[in-house]
Amino acid sequence: MGMGGSIFFLVLGAILAFAVRVEPDWIDLGITGWIFMIAGVIGIILTSWFAKRKRRLHHEIHQTYQQDRMARRQAVRRADAAADNGHSNAVYDAEEPV
């Protein structure tokens, strides 16, 4: 249900519980309104919790990706330096005329 659906249930429940004055015999609109409001509040809480969890997980994945990327770059630089006898960039050395 997302945040919009939760707010919709909350508002619908408030309307049914407090604004509607019709009392049909087969349903109690006050109780129904309170049930909708409770469902809306639970939906808002769960949506917020899942969004927070998703942001944290995304941040952890991104941070791990950045660390791996930096480690790979450092390994390539070390390998290039070792292969070029101390030169830091093998691309420029390959382009120089012999």
For residue 86, name the pLDDT band (cuts at 50, 70, 90). low
Whether 38 and 62 have beta carbons less than 8 Å apart is answered as no
For residue 16, name the pLDDT band (cuts at 50, 70, 90). very high
pLDDT in tens, 27-82: 999 999 999 999 999 999 999 998 888 777 676 777 777 777 777 777 777 777 77
Quick one: CA torsion of 26, 30, 36, 39, rounded to 10 degrees?
-110
Q: How many CA atoms lie within 13 A of 59 on its CB side?
A: 6
Residues 6+ apart with CB under 8 A from 96: none
Please give the model's pTM, rounded to 2 decimal places. Answer: 0.56
Distance CA 21, CA 13 (A): 14
86 vs 58, residue with greater confidence: 58
